[in-house]
Amino acid sequence: MARPKSDDKHNALLLAAEQVFAQRGLAAAPTSAISKQAGVAEGTLFTYFRTKDELVNALYRSIKLDLADALMTRFPRTGPVRDRLEYLWDAFVDWGVANPQRLNVLDQLSVADTVTEESKAVGYEPFAEIEALAQHSIDTGVLEDYPVAFIAASMKSMAETTMAFMTVCPADAGRYRKIGFDVFWNGIARNARS
């Protein structure tokens, strides 16, 4: 009779995969290295995940849901668009500064061919409200008429630049957080440049 699966081992394997992907990159990370990092036999990895692709998808969903928790748990559902986006900005920047390895791995997984459409849908779902807010803000003239995906990518890029400056210059972290958001907001707000 097979032993029941342990949440501790499952989580240890996800953490080990994250660490190995961060160090080696997704393509150069064999399952043997992940098993070794987790302190389990390679066969144990395949007890929890049938394939490396299954492990990759589980890790992607795990990181996306962790990020969603950080951004959406206290997300203000009402108020000025600028304030709501600044809340998301601050939450994302805080999460990224606190979790640079997770952010690095999420960037890798976000472009990986092995992440399924189902996993992408699971990862996207908690953020659908943000897309709806952005589209409504465009439709009502608060934001420039830019594609929502472009606005999201611009926010991510500017936030990652901000995170880098906050990490290198921790004494000025608050200043860089504000500068970063102001630059982002001024680039997307319809009346910010008038």
Query: 139 with 80, same domain?
Result: yes
Query: 108 with 179, same domain?
Result: yes
Query: 75 with 165, same domain?
Result: yes
Closest residue by Cα to residue 21 from 99, 105, 112, 119: 105
- Which tokens hold the place of 122? 């699971």
Q: How big is the chain by its Cα radius of gyration, in Å?
A: 19
Looking up residue 105, the CATH number of its domain turns out to be 1.10.357.10
Q: What b/e string do you get for 55-67 counting C-beta neighbours within 10 Å, with b at 16 or more?
A: bbbbbbbbbbeeb
Looking up residue 7, the CATH number of its domain turns out to be 1.10.10.60
- Counting residues of the chain whose pLDDT is more than 90, the rounded percentage is 92
Tell me what pLDDT residue 1 has: 44
- Asked whether the beta carbons of 93 and 100 are under 8 A apart, the reply is no
Query: 23 with 99, same domain?
Result: no
Tell me what pLDDT residue 176 has: 98
Query: 155 with 100, same domain?
Result: yes
- Asked whether the beta carbons of 48 and 10 are under 8 A apart, the reply is yes
- Residue 129: CA count within 13 A, CB half-sphere: 13
Query: 46 with 68, same domain?
Result: no
Query: 44 with 84, same domain?
Result: no
Label residue 3 by pLDDT band (50, 70, 90).
Answer: low
Residue 194 lies in a domain: no
**Which domain range does residue 148 map to?**
52-188
Beta bridge partners of 189: 143
Query: 87 with 157, same domain?
Result: yes
Per DSSP, the residues of 103-127 read: HHHHHHHHT-TTS-HHHHHHHHGGG
Closest residue by Cα to residue 90 from 104, 106, 74, 66: 74
pLDDT at 60 over 60: yes
Residue 131 lies in a domain: yes
- Which tokens hold the place of 8? 């501790």
Q: What is the pLDDT of residues 105-152, one digit of tens each?
A: 999 999 999 999 999 999 999 999 999 999 999 999 999 999 999 999
Residue 193 lies in a domain: no
Q: What is the pLDDT of residues 7-37, one digit of tens each?
A: 889 999 999 999 999 999 999 999 999 999 9
Per the structure, how many domains does the chain have?
A: 2
Query: 45 with 100, same domain?
Result: no
Q: What is the pLDDT of residues 157-189, one digit of tens each?
A: 999 999 999 999 999 999 999 999 999 999 999
- Residue 120: CA count within 13 A, CB half-sphere: 9
Alpha helix locations (H) across 25-116? 31-38, 42-48, 52-72, 81-98, 100-110
How far out from the chain centre does Cα 84 lie?
Answer: 18
- Indicate if the alpha-carbon torsion angle 60, 61, 64, 66 is positive or negative: negative
Tell me what pLDDT residue 193 has: 52
